[in-house]
């Protein structure tokens, strides 16, 4: 078995890691093929798809409308034997449907702030008025979990 195979996460491990992760580093292609890299809070659409919301005039949205190519990274660990991460490779699909925008907004709120109640929904409606959602259509997943090596290199 290759070292790569030893540290690869199962589908279930990837899902659990993403659900407990906090920051998705998102890379899109900017003008002149320069990479635009930002850290985003993320959530899940009602159908389980991963995504985030952002201002409609943000550089990410401008970039994705021009070229939907997107890569994301959620990672953790500060020592080699504790490094874990998931790289998502695919496309960011801009979503302008208000219901889906609010779905992802509520998911983000719940993951990072707390339960969604009527007060939260009112606040999200105000903030969400200028936002769009981005659905991450994932073509490939690369994962690593160095804790599986048992401290060896």
pLDDT, residue 118, reads 96
Confidence (pLDDT) at 2: 80
Tokens of 83: 């490094």
Q: How confident is the model at residue 153 (pLDDT cuts 50, 70, 90)?
A: low
* Residue 52 near residue 104 (C-beta atoms within 8 A): yes
Domains in the chain, start-ordered, CATH in brackets?
Answer: 3-146 (2.30.110.10)
pLDDT digits (tens, 9 = 90+) for 83-113: 999 999 999 999 999 999 999 999 999 999 9
The dihedral through the CA atoms of 78, 83, 86, 89 has a sign that is positive
What's the mean per-residue pLDDT of the chain?
95
> pLDDT value at position 150?
83
| pLDDT (0 to 100) of residue 75 | 97
């Amino acid at each position: 078995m290759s070292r790569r195979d030893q540290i690869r996460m199962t589908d279930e491990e990837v899902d659990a890691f993403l659900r407990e992760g906090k920051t998705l580093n998102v890379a899109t292609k900017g003008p002149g093929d320069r990479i635009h890299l930002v850290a985003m809070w993320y959530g899940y659409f009602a159908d389980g798809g991963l995504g985030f919301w952002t201002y409609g005039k943000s550089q990410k949205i401008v970039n994705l409308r021009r070229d939907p190519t997107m890569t994301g990274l959620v990672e953790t660990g500060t020592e080699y034997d504790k490094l874990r991460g998931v790289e998502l490779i695919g496309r960011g699909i801009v979503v302008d449907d208000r219901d889906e925008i609010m779905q992802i907004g509520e998911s983000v709120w719940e993951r990072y702030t707390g339960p969604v109640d009527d007060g939260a929904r009112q606040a999200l409606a105000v903030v969400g008025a200028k936002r769009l959602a981005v659905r991450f259509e994932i073509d490939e997943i690369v994962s690593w979990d160095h804790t599986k090596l048992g401290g060896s290199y």
